[in-house]
Chain A
Amino acid sequence: MSYVLIIGARSDIAKATAREYAKHGYDLYLAARNADELKEFANDIIVRSQRKVKTVELDILNYKSHSLFYEQLEEKPLGVICAVGYLGDQEKSQTDFNEAQLIINSNYTGVVSLFNIIADDFEKRKSGFMVAISSVAGDRGRKSNYTYGSAKAALTAYLSGLRNRLYSSQVHVMTVNPGFVATSMTKDMELPEKLTAQPEEVAIDIYRAQQKNKNILYTKWIWYWIMLIIRNIPEWKFKGMSI
Chain B
Amino acid sequence: MSLKSWGRYPIVNNIVYPFESEEQLVPVIDSQGEIIPYGNGRSYGDSALSESIIHMKMHDYFINFDEKKGILHVQSGVLLAEILNSFVPRGWFLKVTPGTKLITVGGAIASDVHGKNHHIEGCFSECVEEFEIMLTDGQIVTCSKKLIPELFKATCGGMGLTGIILNAKLILKKINSQYINQTTIKTQNLKETFAAFEEYRGSPYSVAWIDCLAKGDSLGRCLLMTGDFRDDGQLDYTPAEKFSIPFDFPGFALNNWSVRAFNRLYYGKVKQRISRQKVDIDTFFYPLDAIGHWNRIYGRKGFTQYQFIIPKEMSYEGLQAVLKTIAASGKGSFLAILKLYGPANENYLSFPMEGYSLALDFKIESGLFELLDKLDEIVLQYKGRIYLSKDVRVSKAVFEQGYPQIETFRKFRKEHKMDIKFQSLQSKRVEI
Contact = CB atoms under 8 A, between A and B. Distances in A.
Interface of A: 23, 40-41, 43-44, 47-49, 184, 187, 190-191, 193
B1 A48 contact: no
B295 to A, nearest CB: 14
B1 A47 contact: no
Given A187-B18, A190-B1, A193-B1, A47 B64 contact: yes
A174 to B, nearest CB: 23
A44 B62 contact: yes
Listed residue (B64, B82, B86) with the most chain A CB atoms within 10 angstroms of its CB? B86
Given A48-B82, A191-B1, A43 B18 contact: no
Given A23-B85, A190-B1, A47 B62 contact: yes
B369 interface: no
Contacts of B63: 43-44, 47
Interface in B74-131: 82, 85-86
A76 to B, nearest CB: 28
Interface in B42-93: 61-65, 82, 85-86
A47 B65 contact: yes
Contacts of A49: 86
Contacts, number: 24
A48 B18 contact: no
B85 A43 contact: no
A43 B61 contact: yes
A49 B82 CA distance: 11
A184 B24 CA distance: 14
B61 A40 contact: yes
Nearest to B73: A47
B232 to A, nearest CB: 23
Contacts of A184: 18
B101 to A, nearest CB: 15
A49 B1 CA distance: 33
10 closest pairs, A vs B, by CB? A47-B62, A44-B61, A48-B86, A44-B62, A48-B62, A47-B65, A40-B61, A47-B64, A187-B18, A49-B86
Contacts of A48: 62, 82, 85-86
Contacts of B85: 23, 48
A55 B82 CA distance: 23
Contacts of B64: 47
Contacts of B62: 43-44, 47-48
A184 B65 CA distance: 29
Contacts of A193: 1
B348 to A, nearest CB: 33
Contact of A41 (B1, B18, B61): B61
B212 to A, nearest CB: 33
Listed residue (A40, A44, A193) with the most chain B CB atoms within 10 angstroms of its CB? A44
Nearest to A44: B61
20 contacts: A23-B85, A40-B61, A41-B61, A43-B62, A43-B63, A44-B61, A44-B62, A44-B63, A47-B62, A47-B63, A47-B65, A47-B86, A48-B82, A48-B85, A48-B86, A49-B86, A187-B18, A190-B1, A191-B1, A193-B1
A42 to B, nearest CB: 10
Nearest to A41: B61
Nearest to B75: A44
B256 to A, nearest CB: 32
Contacts of B61: 40-41, 43-44
Contacts of B82: 48
A43 B65 CA distance: 11
A16 to B, nearest CB: 11
Given A47-B63, A48-B82, 5 more contacts: A40-B61, A44-B63, A47-B86, A48-B62, A191-B1
A191 B1 CA distance: 8
A49 B61 CA distance: 12
Nearest to B74: A47
A48 B64 CA distance: 9
Nearest to B246: A194
A41 B63 CA distance: 9
A102 to B, nearest CB: 23
A133 B82 CA distance: 25
A47 B65 CA distance: 7
A55 B63 CA distance: 17
B64 to A, nearest CB: 6
A191 B61 CA distance: 26
A184 B18 CA distance: 9
Interface string B15-35: 000100000000000000000
A112 to B, nearest CB: 32
Contacts of B18: 184, 187
